[in-house]
Structure 1
């Protein structure tokens, strides 16, 4: 993760907000990405500048934009036309993923307190009504965690990087424990400190830990010499004390396939296949090959969101977001999506199957990002530190690009996904009615609703007008209403059919 995004976020919040206000007062609003605002809701959300060049796959876009200059962040859902569908509460979120739990669609995301590229928090799991149904935690004291903020304590020590739900009702998460270590083998201090990367599999309903694996506890199989991050580099730490530990190994994604765990290490430029007993069955290094032999165009580094695309006894095919840039290397390589095939027997050759990038608008992302294989061989890719989402077709052509911030701004998101979704908010629609010439403009929105077809405007028991829903907020011009008169609006169609708003008085809250 990018330290520019995450470094001491909560403590910097007030300062950032005051700086944003100062900039606004000085007439420099142009430095801030514009926000969508609404009459019927207090929600403010980044505009999505969407360009489509072809047919995209169905589903909504899920991501959590963090506006560092304004000091805001929200888990969010958007439609392909750039319209907001749902915005959650303001907070510091990461690793948002729409997934399935017990046969039902859910949203899972991390929320908590950030350090220098890692954090301490919990995983919230929301149902289709956007209610938190589970909160997954990791007891810091029970797990003997040391943090860079000691003696500050935290109730949960789950890291920012992963929230992957398995088919068995468990969740995979990462954690970072600041640990003393001998760093002399890699040119560091003998009595040094590291960010030991740990993965956990936790039962969602009980919080019981079912699996735990620590990189440092397996240092013989995961030597520090694999790590590429130089001491003292931005985000990597000096390793000289526990408030500035060295970034070994910076784990950033986990996925489980039967009894094995696929684990990505950013600073090692490595992917590990870990057995249920903690041993490593194979290791792919993006620069040297590790247990494999890299071939033309298969080198990668600082990658994110590694997942299996296909698997057999003889080979495995991986999809990944290949940053190949960091804060300390600069921006020298295009950020791409990659699909590579690993031969598990014989020559152990690595072969490039696909590489995807937006040739008309290339990106150099230094951190974060995600890769998602969709139907029909489409791929969705988010660029993390660069506020851009792309979709590619089966031929690698860009069929959608969506910006939600300036390329050099501090609007970012860790991951983005496309997913089918039916929102069933437990709230009521929001309504404001304002005089507009000889008519009344009735503004209605329903945060999180996805399948409303139209709206009926009532005055008492009389239907004054019916209008098709249009985007997050629909504006309905109604004649024959007087200032001070009460109106209500009713949803037509979908799961929320017949749900009415509270009454709104014409001319109030305009």
Structure 2
């Protein structure tokens, strides 16, 4: 944590750490509080397995007619050299899926893609209709010689898919290859030589469902954002790229962008990666959060607000810009290991500390595809954990409860047998993920109880015995 000022929005921070280099610790889905302490962690068994797009959403159960908060994320394996070179770097390998977990940390739903496509890490969004919108991808064989690639190559196509969560049935699909021209890609088809002949021409990385019939889709490798009529599949307008329907005011253009979202008042937001591997003539710019104002009468996009970091960051991939309920903006810096919160007015290049309220850095080369601040009340179905060791003439008892957001203090019980734990021998406020409570009791049997802000016991641990 490098900055923590008053005025941040309510909620904890949701990240899914992984690394394309040397992983520090474990990959998985991680909730942190503002101090950087973990609230909940679900580690994965291998650093070659990743989570992404980890966040809180609202799940509408059409069968029961009710809504509930859930955590959702993608889980799978990414094509990260040198381990995988059969697909373009960052593409999902076969075998991934999406998960929905309830507030008790129980699995509710597992969602898969259709048409032989692979579930994609870039987007998984629940809708108020009880459906899920997500991106899925797979290589489609194609003669790439017209584009400067191999004859027996493939194009990595992306589909927008929508499934009914109750049944898993596919309700809607939209194929990039049917509507976008690969010739407009900013990535050369010759790059397929490093990924087993597969060309990542489009690289769709976000979907947002807007008012009426609209979908907003970001295609990173086209440098373009598309507003699409969902019913017809027709592109209503394009922002950026080689066939942009909009011109740009100062600081409004973008490259390699992620996370395009509708905003009120003819505005859209995104994370502008803005750097790295740019064609000749394209000026490199710092990565930043960007909100564009769209003038439809004059077809011009202007920069309404920007969010820069200090020190300056240059993220080749990933990232997101999240609107918070109090008007702040939360930025996940993608391939740079930071996440930050700013007051809504933002800042300008060279002035990255202005309106900065919160900033934190993941260890080593760890990164998170996106980062979110979400409000979440977790009440685990499983009990707290306890451990104990001798300490001079007394004992130290350690208490933790992975995922509990309501625990404010711990009680320690001790006794001469597992059935005689009736005396509270220690009490301490929760202090981080694991709390150490010192007591003069020798047990040898101990148990901990989690207590909420009103003093109510939430749940108790299993009984543990102090080593002799």
Counterparts of 2:277 and 2:167, CA distance in 1: 39
Counterparts of 1:238 and 1:457, CA distance in 2: 62
For 2:221, what is the secondary structure of its paired residue? coil
Q: Does 1:245 align with 2:198?
A: yes
Counterparts of 1:470 and 1:161, CA distance in 2: 35
Counterparts of 2:214 and 2:425, CA distance in 1: 61
| 1:338 positional shift | 0.3
In structure 2, what is the equivalent of residue 368 of structure 1? Answer: 318
| 1:189 positional shift | 4.2
Q: Does 1:431 align with 2:389?
A: no
| 1:192 positional shift | 3.6
Contact 1:164 1:172 in 2 (8 A): yes
For 1:394, what is the secondary structure of its paired residue? coil
| 1:352 positional shift | 0.9
Match among 93, 106, 117 for residue 90 of structure 2: 117
Contact 1:229 1:247 in 2 (8 A): yes
For 1:238, what is the secondary structure of its paired residue? helix
Aligned length: 426
Structure 1 pair 331–350 and aligned structure 2 pair: CA distance change class (3 A): closer
Report the TM-score when normalising by structure 2: 0.86
Counterparts of 1:54 and 1:327, CA distance in 2: 38
In structure 1, what is the equivalent of residue 85 of structure 2? Answer: none
In structure 2, what is the equivalent of residue 96 of structure 1? Answer: 54
Counterparts of 1:185 and 1:299, CA distance in 2: 29
Counterparts of 2:451 and 2:384, CA distance in 1: 12
In structure 2, what is the equivalent of residue 202 of structure 1? Answer: 163
Contact 1:227 1:268 in 2 (8 A): yes
In structure 2, what is the equivalent of residue 334 of structure 1? Answer: 286
For 1:352, what is the secondary structure of its paired residue? strand
Q: Does 1:503 align with 2:463?
A: yes
In structure 2, what is the equivalent of residue 489 of structure 1? Answer: 448
| 1:322 positional shift | 0.5
| 1:327 positional shift | 5.3
Matches within 5 A, 1:81-480: 81-90=35-44, 91-102=49-60, 103-115=67-79, 116-119=89-92, 120=94, 121-139=96-114, 143-145=115-117, 157-189=118-150, 192-218=153-179, 222-233=180-191, 237-238=192-193, 243-257=196-210, 258-275=212-229, 276-285=231-240, 290-311=244-265, 316-326=266-276, 332-344=284-296, 346-358=297-309, 360-396=310-346, 397-406=355-364, 409=365, 411-459=366-414, 460-480=421-441
In structure 1, what is the equivalent of residue 4 of structure 2? Answer: 52
Counterparts of 2:379 and 2:55, CA distance in 1: 18
Counterparts of 2:277 and 2:51, CA distance in 1: 21
| 1:260 positional shift | 1.7
Residues 309-343 of structure 1: per-residue CA shift (max 9 Å, x gap): 114xxxx2011110012457799421100000112
Contact 1:50 1:80 in 2 (8 A): no
For 2:250, what is the secondary structure of its paired residue? coil
Counterparts of 1:481 and 1:278, CA distance in 2: 71
| 1:54 positional shift | 4.1
Residues 455-485 of structure 1: per-residue CA shift (max 9 Å, x gap): 1111111111221111111111111325xx1
In structure 2, what is the equivalent of residue 45 of structure 1? Answer: none
Counterparts of 1:195 and 1:455, CA distance in 2: 53
Matches within 5 A, 1:24-43: none
For 1:377, what is the secondary structure of its paired residue? coil
Contact 1:197 1:248 in 2 (8 A): no
